Chains A and B, each alone.
Chain A
Amino acid sequence: MRDFTKNDIRLFIALCSLGLVAPILFPAYINQLSFAWIFVVIALSWDMQGGHMGYNSFGNIVFFGVGMYAAASFQILPFFSLGDWTEAGGVQTFEHSVSQYFSGYALGILFAAIAAVATAFIFGNLILKMRGHYFAICTLALGVAIGEVFASIEILGAGQGLSLAVWPRGFLDDTYRRLFFYYQGFLLFVLCFLSISYIIRTRFGMTLNAIRDGEDKAESMGLNTNFYKISSWILSAFFIGLCGALVGHLVGFIDPIDVAFSGATYGIWMIIMAIIGGKGRLWGPVIGALFFHAFNEIFWTYFLGWQRVALGLIIVIIVVFFPEGILGFFQVRKKSSVSALSTQPQQQKK
Chain B
Amino acid sequence: MNKKISKLILGFSALTLLLVGSATAKVDGDIVTLGAAVSLTGKYSTNGKHTKNGYDLAVKRINENGGFKVKGKTYKIAVKYYDDESTPARAAQLAERLIKQDGIQFMLGPYSSGLTKAMAPVTENYKIPMIEANGASRSLFTKGYKYLFAILTSADQYLAGAVDLLAEKAKEEGRSLKTLKVAVAVENDPFSLDVRLGAVEKVNKYKMKLVLDEKLPKSLDDMAAILTKVRALKPDLLIVSGHAKGAATAARQIDQFRVYVPMVAMTHCDSAQIEQKYPVGAENILCAAQWHKKLTYSDDDNLFGDGNDYVDIFTREYGYSPPYQSAESSTAIQVYVDAFKRAGSFNPQKVRNAIAKTKLQSFYGNVKFNQYGQNIAKPMVLLQVINSEYNVVAPTKWASTPLIYPRPK
Instruction: Assess A/B contact in the complex (Cβ within 8 A).
Output: yes
| Chain A residues close to B by CB (< 8 Å) | 5, 7-8, 10-11, 14-15, 18, 22, 26-32, 35, 88-93, 95, 148, 151-152, 158-161, 163-164, 166-167, 174, 177, 247, 250-253, 255, 257-259, 262, 265, 283, 287, 290-291, 294, 297-298, 300-302, 304-305, 307-308, 326-327, 330-331, 334, 336, 339-341
Q: How far is the CA of A32 from the CA of B144 in the complex (A)?
A: 27
From residue B23, how far is it (CB to closest CB) to chain A in Å?
5
A contact residues around B198 at 8 Å (CB): 89
Contact among B8, B40, B86, B125 with A167 in the assembled complex (CB-CB below 8 Å): B125
Contact among B1, B16, B19, B192 with A341 in the assembled complex (CB-CB below 8 Å): B1
Q: How far is the CA of A217 from the CA of B198 in the complex (A)?
A: 63
| B193 near A7: Cβ-Cβ < 8 Å | no
B contact residues around A152 at 8 Å (CB): 188, 215
Q: How far is the CA of A76 from the CA of B234 in the complex (A)?
A: 43
Beyond A26-B17, A27-B100, 6 additional pairs, beta carbon < 8 A = A28-B101, A161-B114, A163-B117, A258-B89, A304-B83, A330-B1
| A265 near B41: Cβ-Cβ < 8 Å | no
| A287 near B9: Cβ-Cβ < 8 Å | yes
A interface, over-half SS: helix
Tell yes or no: B65 within 8 A of A by CB. no
A contact residues around B144 at 8 Å (CB): 93, 95
| A174 near B126: Cβ-Cβ < 8 Å | yes
Q: Which of B91-99, B313-321, B362-370, B388-396 contacts A (4 or more CB under 8 A)?
A: B91-99
| A160 near B190: Cβ-Cβ < 8 Å | yes
Contact among B1, B122, B139 with A7 in the assembled complex (CB-CB below 8 Å): B1
Tell yes or no: B15 within 8 A of A by CB. yes
Q: How far is the CA of A22 from the CA of B114 in the complex (A)?
A: 32
- B 13-30 contacts with A by CB, 8 A: 13, 15-17, 19-23
Number of interface residues of B (CB under 8 A): 62
Q: Can you identify 10 A-B contacts, CB atoms within 8 angstroms?
A: A7-B1, A8-B2, A30-B100, A159-B215, A251-B93, A258-B87, A259-B88, A304-B40, A307-B83, A339-B1
B contact residues around A297 at 8 Å (CB): 16, 20
In the complex where A32-B97, A89-B139 touch, is A265 in contact with B87 (Cβ < 8 A)?
yes
| A287 near B5: Cβ-Cβ < 8 Å | yes
B contact residues around A90 at 8 Å (CB): 139, 142
| B93 near A161: Cβ-Cβ < 8 Å | no
In the complex where A159-B188, A177-B125, A258-B114 touch, is A31 in contact with B100 (Cβ < 8 A)?
yes
Mask of B124-143 contacts with A, CB within 8 angstroms, 1/0:
11100000000001110011
B contact residues around A326 at 8 Å (CB): 8
| B82 near A88: Cβ-Cβ < 8 Å | no
B interface, over-half SS: helix
A contact residues around B89 at 8 Å (CB): 247, 251, 255, 258-259, 262, 265
Q: In the complex, which residue of chain B has the Cβ closest to the Cβ of A10?
A: B2
- B 336-379 contacts with A by CB, 8 A: none
| A88 near B197: Cβ-Cβ < 8 Å | yes
| A252 near B81: Cβ-Cβ < 8 Å | no
B contact residues around A161 at 8 Å (CB): 88, 114, 117, 190
Contact among A89, A91, A253, A330 with B88 in the assembled complex (CB-CB below 8 Å): A253
B contact residues around A283 at 8 Å (CB): 5
B contact residues around A89 at 8 Å (CB): 137-139, 142, 156, 194, 197-198
In the complex where A163-B143, A308-B41 touch, is A287 in contact with B2 (Cβ < 8 A)?
no
B contact residues around A330 at 8 Å (CB): 1, 4-5
Contact among A22, A250, A287 with B92 in the assembled complex (CB-CB below 8 Å): A250
| A258 near B86: Cβ-Cβ < 8 Å | yes
| B12 near A166: Cβ-Cβ < 8 Å | no
Interface pairs A-B: 4 shortest CB-CB? A159-B188, A7-B2, A252-B121, A294-B16
B contact residues around A166 at 8 Å (CB): 121, 124-125, 143
B4, B94, B96: which has the most chain A beta carbons within 10 Å? B96
In the complex where A89-B156, A152-B215, A158-B188 touch, is A174 in contact with B125 (Cβ < 8 A)?
yes
Contact among A27, A91, A255, A290 with B142 in the assembled complex (CB-CB below 8 Å): A91
From residue A154, how far is it (CB to closest CB) to chain B in Å?
11
Mask of B186-220 contacts with A, CB within 8 angstroms, 1/0:
01111011100110000000000000000101100
- B 99-132 contacts with A by CB, 8 A: 100-101, 114, 117-118, 121-122, 124-126
In the complex where A159-B189, A253-B88 touch, is A29 in contact with B101 (Cβ < 8 A)?
yes
| A258 near B88: Cβ-Cβ < 8 Å | yes
| A334 near B139: Cβ-Cβ < 8 Å | no
From residue A140, how far is it (CB to closest CB) to chain B in Å?
15
| B218 near A32: Cβ-Cβ < 8 Å | no
| B2 near A251: Cβ-Cβ < 8 Å | no
Q: In the complex, which residue of chain B has the Cβ closest to the Cβ of A14?
A: B6
| A11 near B6: Cβ-Cβ < 8 Å | yes
- B 57-89 contacts with A by CB, 8 A: 81-83, 85-89
| B142 near A253: Cβ-Cβ < 8 Å | no
Contact among B22, B83, B118, B137 with A252 in the assembled complex (CB-CB below 8 Å): B118
